């Protein structure tokens, strides 16, 4: 391995820190946006489902669009990916903060949240798509990219822990008082104003915005986007040609569909777990700590899964990691509500979350390398592969969150209720257990047909190395001939 291809620990850490903003904001929105819209902003469940669905669907649509634009961006002295990250950050944090601000009017609330949610998702896409594609431009060696990805996944899970901790702990200390139903005891606290809870959400979002900015600064100054690995692309292609390009590569399609279902399962769990803990399990004052246990466990499990995939292969690690979460999801809904048991099963669920974080991003560069070998004349399209991968994931998650919130609406969800109808509790059990398990099984069945095993991956690595050496040799010969 040449010194050019080797990455220092400092470079890997700086690169990894750049992935934290996506997970910090993603975990805060994923775990808390639904309950915030329903119980703090007091949006009707039907309109909340529209906001969540349209926001996620819009986010998905912007991914391939930004990927297409990034792939055609000119090279600058800062690189091709980094300028997108720097320019999008200030506007993104402003929009994120305004998502958790309750406007002083009622009629336009839905439009307010829909606009700023969509705006933030667009700007975050301008950060995350170039950042994801940056993996291909920090080194040409698979081993170095895999190592950098492991660093990245560890920091991203830590970012998810940080986002969950910041949002959960600050908000958890200022829960809005619930409104008793016909069978609930009347509480004096129900007459208190929920302004404290609104302020808590704003403080939490402000802290997260500061962390977002700091991470972007570290990434920009700590990572060098190496032009040596940025081969001149083939002729520019249209947006629909980009779709045809990536969807025409069989391994990519199988990988995307497989992880589409498994990630969808975890997104359903993430989006409804706070409501499930609050109402079905009755842990209104403990749900933020339960979420923290899940993310902390995921952080500890990342190094283990990185070792596991190097020892047994990525497909095996994906299967074992996903299946790790299944027993926990069954236990938490089958057995009687018990706080200690909930903490215990949450710890094991976190191991499955860690695998979902790591495996998908670790396997995607292998697909891009495979495409390069099969299509040597079609180059410079890395961002398109990454953006469409994110597109399918986000679009499906938008559908799932919209449907799940709409299901709660039809089940009779009571905004800020101290308790919920039994139909709501049954719906929540399905959304955090049985539906995700079914989706995981489908995803693993599809992933079974994913053709890039360890033998093919190693062969691709050798062929790519030979290709790079041949291209470098031809370049050196041409420069020598020009001098002579």
Residue-wise pLDDT for 349-403, tens only, equals: 888 878 877 787 788 888 888 888 887 766 666 667 777 777 777 777 767 777 7
239 or 476, which is more confident: 239
Q: First CA to last CA across the chain, in angstroms?
A: 30
Nearest to 150 by CA among 348, 6, 9, 281: 9
CATH topology (fold) of 237-452: Growth Hormone; Chain: A; (1.20.1250)
- The residue written with tokens 């994931």 in the block is 393
Kindly list the domain boundaries of the chain, sorted by start residue. Answer: 13-180+189-225, 237-452
24 or 339, which is more confident: 24
Q: What is the pLDDT of residue 187?
A: 46
Q: How many CA atoms lie within 13 A of 336 on its CB side?
A: 0
Which residues are bridge partners to 76 per DSSP?
A: 79
Q: Which two tokens stand for residue 127?
A: 């950060």
Q: What is the pTM of this model?
A: 0.69
Mean residue pLDDT of the chain comes to 80
Which residues are bridge partners to 79 per DSSP?
A: 76
Rg (CA), the chain: 23
Q: Is the pLDDT of residue 435 over 70?
A: yes
Nearest to 362 by CA among 127, 59, 151: 151
419 or 423, which is more confident: 423
Q: Which of 38-52, 66-80, 164-178, 219-233 has the highest mean pLDDT?
A: 38-52
In tens, the pLDDT along 278-296 reads 888 888 777 778 878 887 8
Q: What is the pLDDT of residue 242?
A: 67
Given pLDDT bands bounded at 50, 70 and 90, which one contains residue 237? low
With helix as H, strand as E and coil as C, how does the chain read?
CCCCCCCCHHHHHHHHHCCHHHHHHHHHHHHHHHHHHHHCCCCCHHHHHHHHHHHHHHHHHHHHHHHHHHHCCCCECCECCHHHHHHHHHHHHHHHHHHCCCCCCCCCHHHHHHHHHHHHHHHHHHHHHHHHHHHHHCCCCHHHHHHHHHHHHHHHHHHHHHHHHHHHHHHHCCCCCCECCCCCCCCHHHHCCCHHHHHHHHHHHHHHHHHHHHHHHHHHHHCCCCHHHCCCCCCCCCHHHHHHHHHCCHHHHHHHHHHHHHHHHHHHHHHHHHHHHHHHCCCCCCHHHHHHHHHHHHHHHHHHHHHHHHHHCHHHHHHHHHHHHHHHHHHHHHCCCCHHHHHHHHHHHHHHHHHHHHHHHHHHHHHHHHHHHHCCCCCCCHHHHHHHHHHHHHHHHHHHHHHHHHHHHHHCCCCCECCCCHHHHHHHHHHHHHHHHHHHHHHHHHHHCCCCCHHHHHHHHHHHHHHHHHHHHHHHHHHHHHHC
d(CA 277, CA 288): 9
Q: What is the pLDDT of residue 260?
A: 84
Which residues are bridge partners to 179 per DSSP?
A: 417
Given pLDDT bands bounded at 50, 70 and 90, which one contains residue 468? low
d(CA 416, CA 427): 17
Q: What is the pLDDT of residue 303?
A: 84
Given pLDDT bands bounded at 50, 70 and 90, which one contains residue 91? very high
In tens, the pLDDT along 247-264 reads 788 888 898 888 888 888
In tens, the pLDDT along 126-166 reads 998 888 878 777 776 767 777 887 788 778 878 877 888 88
Tell me the torsion sign for CA atoms 324, 357, 437, 251.
negative
Q: What is the pLDDT of residue 210?
A: 95
Given pLDDT bands bounded at 50, 70 and 90, which one contains residue 101? very high
| Domain 13-180+189-225 identical in fold to domain 237-452 | yes
Which residues are bridge partners to 417 per DSSP?
A: 179
Given pLDDT bands bounded at 50, 70 and 90, which one contains residue 331? confident
Q: Is the pLDDT of residue 417 over 80?
A: no
Given pLDDT bands bounded at 50, 70 and 90, which one contains residue 189? very low
d(CA 114, CA 47): 10
Q: What is the pLDDT of residue 481?
A: 53
Nearest to 162 by CA among 350, 357, 27: 27
CB atoms within 10 A of CB 323: 15
Question: Which class in CATH covers the domain with range 13-180+189-225?
Answer: mainly alpha
What mean pLDDT comes out for the span 266-273? Answer: 80
Q: What is the pLDDT of residue 123?
A: 93
Do the beta carbons of residue 201 and residue 35 sit within 8 Å?
no
- What's the residue count for the chain? 484
Q: Is the pLDDT of residue 2 over 50?
A: no
Q: What is the pLDDT of residue 483?
A: 52
Q: What is the pLDDT of residue 379?
A: 64
CB atoms within 10 A of CB 479: 10
- The residue written with tokens 């007091």 in the block is 42
In tens, the pLDDT along 190-236 reads 444 456 678 889 999 999 999 999 999 999 888 887 664 555 444 55
């Amino acid at each position: 391995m040449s010194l050019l291809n080797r990455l220092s620990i400092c470079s890997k850490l700086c690169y990894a820190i750049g992935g934290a903003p996506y997970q910090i904001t993603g975990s805060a929105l994923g775990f808390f946006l639904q309950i915030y819209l329903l119980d703090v902003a007091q949006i009707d469940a039907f309109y909340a489902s529209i906001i969540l669905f349209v926001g996620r669907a819009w986010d998905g649509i912007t991914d391939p669009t930004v990927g297409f634009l990034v792939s055609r961006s000119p090279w600058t002295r800062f690189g091709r990916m980094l300028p997108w990250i720097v320019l999008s950050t200030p506007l993104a944090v402003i929009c994120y903060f305004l998502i958790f601000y309750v406007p002083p009017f009622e009629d336009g609330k839905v439009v307010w949240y829909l606009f700023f949610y969509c705006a933030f998702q667009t700007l975050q896409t301008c950060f995350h798509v170039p950042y994801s594609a940056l993996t291909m431009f920090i080194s040409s060696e698979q081993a170095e990219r895999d190592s950098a990805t492991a660093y990245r996944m560890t920091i991203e899970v830590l970012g998810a822990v940080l986002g969950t901790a910041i949002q959960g702990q600050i908000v958890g200390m200022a829960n809005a008082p619930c409104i008793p139903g016909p069978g609930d005891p009347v509480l004096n606290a129900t007459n208190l104003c929920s302004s404290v809870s609104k302020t808590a959400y704003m403080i939490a979002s402000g802290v997260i915005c500061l962390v977002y900015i700091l991470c972007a600064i570290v990434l920009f100054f700590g990572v060098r986007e190496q032009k040596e690995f940025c081969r001149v692309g083939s002729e520019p292609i249209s947006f629909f040609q980009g779709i045809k390009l990536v969807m025409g590569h069989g391994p990519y399609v199988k990988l995307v569909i497989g992880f589409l279902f498994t990630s969808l399962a975890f997104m359903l769990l993430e989006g409804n777990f706070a409501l499930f803990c609050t109402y079905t399990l009755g842990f209104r004052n403990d749900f933020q700590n339960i979420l923290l246990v899940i993310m902390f466990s995921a952080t500890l499990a990342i190094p283990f899964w990185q070792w596991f995939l190097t020892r047994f292969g990525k497909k095996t690690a994906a299967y074992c990691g996903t299946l790790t979460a299944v027993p926990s999801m069954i236990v938490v809904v089958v057995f009687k509500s018990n706080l200690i048991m909930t903490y215990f099963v949450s710890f094991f669920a976190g191991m499955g979350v860690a695998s979902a974080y790591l495996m998908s991003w670790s396997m995607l560069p292998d697909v891009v390398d495979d495409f390069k070998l099969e299509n040597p004349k079609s180059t410079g399209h890395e961002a398109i592969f990454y953006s469409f991968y994110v597109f399918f994931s986000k679009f499906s998650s938008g559908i799932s969150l919209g449907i799940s919130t709409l299901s709660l609406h039809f089940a009779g969800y009571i905004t800020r209720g101290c308790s919920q109808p039994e139909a709501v509790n049954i719906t929540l059990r399905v959304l955090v257990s049985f539906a995700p398990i079914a989706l995981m099984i489908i995803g693993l069945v599809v992933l079974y047909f994913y053709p890039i095993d360890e033998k093919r991956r190693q062969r691709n690595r050798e062929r790519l190395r030979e290709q790079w050496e041949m291209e470098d040799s031809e370049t050196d010969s041409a420069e020598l001939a020009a001098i002579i």
